[in-house]
């Protein structure tokens, strides 16, 4: 039987009490490390991990590859990763492949739905742009005015309803190289006051205050046809009329005016009204002349018959 002295028991008890106190203080307070801390297994904390310094840094290093992998795991299937200086937020369904919700490359490109963005903002995946679907990208609140884009459409909406879409509303040229020949359909019209683009129609369903137009149709005989070039196309000839000249001879129905009332364009499509009325007038005159000719011929036939009768011997 081993005999333990009282002094040995007292010393062991003191060590045990000191260790218990240290553990209690570490649980209730904090762990401070000056220099480096190396752990061969996991480090867990029930509170916050705070790094304080004049220039604080948190380094993650793979000793084998030298890469800088950082992973923040939500405990389910979501990961926030930094791999080879690129930043990813990805989601992996149970047993499925990773889907990259958000990627930020070291060069600055941001990808949504793709790991490899090819431009400053690259969005892959979404729905068809429509009044009920948000497309790939939305600018603005869904319950208010917004613009949505998919891979081949741009649409303006307002709380799920149609809304005007403005292109260069304050000015500037608009180019559309892809316009093609589609045959004889509705003619496009442009409202210079509002900037709206639409098409013309001629049904009385869309008209009001319908009255017969009266004018001196013969004024069109005083027009002067000209040829001209545009300032930026000095070698390309065009043919037509001058708006100011059309206005000066009273053909105001065939002239378009700007906001200040200055003659600005010629309504060539309206000229058919004047030409049609002139044809109708000429047709009426021709009919009257033909009627007069017919009556004269009938009278001449009558006279010839009388003359022949008088000169016929008994």
Give 9's pLDDT tier (boundaries 50, 70, 90): very low
CB atoms inside a 10 Å sphere around CB 220 = 19
The separation between CA 241 and the C-alpha centre of its own chain, rounded to angstroms, equals 37
Structure-token match 């009044």, residue found: 131
Q: DSSP secondary-structure letter at 45?
A: -
Q: Average pLDDT of the chain?
A: 82
Instruction: Kindly list the strands in the beta sheet with 70-73, ordered across the sheet, starting from the edge strand earlier in the chain.
Output: 70-73, 78-83, 86-91, 99-104, 110-112, 121-123
Q: Are 103 and 122 in contact (CB under 8 A)?
A: no
Percent of the chain at pLDDT above 90? Answer: 45
Q: Are 158 and 145 in contact (CB under 8 A)?
A: yes
Percent of the chain at pLDDT above 70? Answer: 71
Checking if the pLDDT of 1 tops 50, the result is no
Phi-psi region of 300 (alpha: psi -120 to 50; beta: other; left: phi over 0): alpha
More confident residue, 133 or 88: 133
Q: Are 116 and 103 in contact (CB under 8 A)?
A: yes
C-alpha span between 160 and 167 (Å, rounded) = 21
**pLDDT value for 71:** 62
C-alpha span between 219 and 221 (Å, rounded) = 5
pLDDT one-digit tens code per residue, 57-103? 556 655 555 555 566 655 556 666 666 667 777 765 555 667 778 88
**pLDDT value for 188:** 85
**pLDDT value for 6:** 43
Domain boundaries, the chain: 210-309
């Amino acid at each position: 039987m081993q005999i333990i002295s009282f002094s040995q028991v007292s010393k062991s008890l003191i060590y045990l009490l000191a260790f218990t106190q240290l553990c209690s203080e570490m649980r209730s307070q904090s762990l401070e490390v000056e220099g480096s801390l190396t752990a061969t297994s996991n480090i867990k904390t029930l509170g916050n991990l705070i790094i304080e310094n004049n220039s604080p840094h948190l380094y993650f290093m793979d000793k084998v590859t030298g890469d800088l992998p950082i992973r923040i795991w939500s405990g389910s299937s979501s990961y926030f990763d930094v791999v080879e200086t690129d930043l990813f937020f990805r989601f992996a369904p149970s047993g499925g492949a990773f889907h990259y919700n958000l990627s930020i490359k070291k060069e600055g490109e941001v990808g949504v739905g793709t790991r490899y963005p090819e431009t400053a903002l690259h969005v892959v995946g979404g729905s068809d742009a429509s009044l009920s679907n948000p497309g790939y990208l939305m600018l603005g609140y869904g319950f208010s005015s917004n613009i949505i884009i998919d891979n081949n459409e741009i649409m303006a909406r307002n709380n799920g309803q149609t809304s005007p879409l403005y292109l260069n509303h304050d000015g500037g040229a608009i180019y559309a190289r892809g316009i093609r020949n589609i045959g004889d359909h509705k003619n496009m019209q442009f409202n210079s006051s509002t900037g709206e683009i639409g098409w013309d129609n001629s049904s009385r369903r869309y008209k009001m205050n319908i009255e017969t137009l009266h004018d001196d149709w013969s004024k069109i005989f005083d027009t002067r046809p000209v040829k001209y070039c545009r300032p930026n196309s000095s070698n390309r000839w065009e043919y037509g009329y001058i708006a100011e000249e059309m206005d000066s001879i009273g053909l105001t129905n065939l002239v378009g005016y700007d906001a200040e009332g200055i003659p600005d364009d010629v309504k060539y499509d309206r000229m058919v009204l004047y030409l049609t009325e002139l044809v109708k007038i000429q047709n009426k005159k021709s009919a009257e002349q033909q009627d007069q000719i017919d009556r004269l011929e009938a009278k001449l036939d009558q006279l010839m018959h009388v003359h022949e009768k008088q000169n016929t011997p008994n």
